[in-house]
Structure 1
Amino acid sequence: MMPKSIAALAMVAISGLSAAPALAQDSGFGLELNNVRDSENGCRMTYVARNATGTDLDAISFEVAVFDASDIVSRLLILEFGALTDGKTKVVQFDLADQPCEGINRLLINNVTECAASEGEAPDCMAVLNASSRTDVGFGL
């Protein structure tokens, strides 16, 4: 079983704002690390996810490796984004407990842990993933 090191997987907000250019892809699954801020619990990471796969997703989640300032893996996380209909953009926040943001060098999407379609076959979520970052923290495959 994978260790989960996230203090809270709550605080999900759905955004009606226009997506960033990196997320405005015609197809695929756009995942942007939009913001990182220190919070009372650790480092709060804000992601913008956009489903343009052509398929409604019941659930999508990723295993992410956190690299420290020395580029050493400090922990593995499971980031759960929940259900996301095709064409929908969602903003999700995760708190990384007891971790100041300045101690994070980069985040690596290691694997897709869940990708379930509402109906029919799910897309290859890793193959259609477009990762980007608006922060100083690196984020990608």
Structure 2
Amino acid sequence: MRISPILSVLSAAFLAQAAIAEEAVKPADESLEGKLSLELNAAQSGEGGCMLTFVVINGHDADIARAVYETVLFDKAGQVDRLTLFDFGQLPAKRPRVRQFSVSGTPCDGLGQILVNGAHACEAAALDEGACEAGLEVTSRTEIEVLG
């Protein structure tokens, strides 16, 4: 059976895109060992407010059953807009997860910073008590700065 040249090119392009997508959310092996990475990956304004998209990677050797963070949202002028809880749910070991949170009544261009104030809840039976806070690395790919 012979594969057409067009199908070969399309297959190669699909495989290349899949590899790029996998690399984009792949943990940086040793750099995340024993840490938790929380990246604000996107912020999109909609009718009701701002949709925040996070990529979270649990670099620990065990699953986190539940991680809830107290976060403080600051406007562009540096004033506190609100204090809220973001429930990231279950975070399997060494695997990326994407979580979205809707911030009602505030457009994304009105947010200047997000402060991860600390872990409100961290359920991880096989890990130390501070597993959700110790070694927490926060980053942003948006204009909204994330602090931790």
TM normalised by structure 2 equals 0.77
Residues 50 and 20 of structure 1, relative CA distance in 2, 3 Å threshold: same
Secondary structure of 1:31 counterpart: strand
Map 1:75-114; keep pairs closer than 5 Å. 75-114=82-121
How many residues of Structure 1 are paired with residues of Structure 2 in the alignment?
124
Corresponding residue of 1:50? 57
Corresponding residue of 2:126? 120
Measure, in 2, the Cα distance between the counterparts of 1:120 and 1:74. 36
For the 8 Å contact 2:42–2:141, the answer to whether it is kept is yes
Measure, in 2, the Cα distance between the counterparts of 1:107 and 1:83. 22
Higher helix proportion, which one?
Answer: 2
Amino acid at match of 1:86: A
Measure, in 2, the Cα distance between the counterparts of 1:111 and 1:121. 17
Corresponding residue of 2:22? 17
Corresponding residue of 1:61? 68
- Offset, 1:36: 0.5
Higher strand proportion, which one?
Answer: 1
Query: 4+ residue stretches of structure 1 with deviation over 2 A?
Result: 16-21, 23-26, 119-123
Structure 1 residues 56-77: Cα deviation after superposition (integer angstroms, max 9, x where no partner): 1110010110111110111011
Measure, in 1, the Cα distance between the counterparts of 2:102 and 2:93. 26
Structure 1 runs not aligned, ≥5 long: 1-15
More contact order relative to length (CA 8 Å, sep ≥ 6) = 1
Higher-Rg structure is 2
Amino acid at match of 1:59: R
Residues 66 and 26 of structure 1, relative CA distance in 2, 3 Å threshold: closer
Measure, in 2, the Cα distance between the counterparts of 1:102 and 1:96. 12
Corresponding residue of 2:12? none
For the 8 Å contact 2:69–2:116, the answer to whether it is kept is yes
1:30 aligns with 2:37: yes
For the 8 Å contact 1:55–1:123, the answer to whether it is kept is no
Amino acid at match of 1:46: T
Amino acid at match of 2:144: V
Amino acid at match of 1:26: L
Measure, in 2, the Cα distance between the counterparts of 1:20 and 1:131. 15
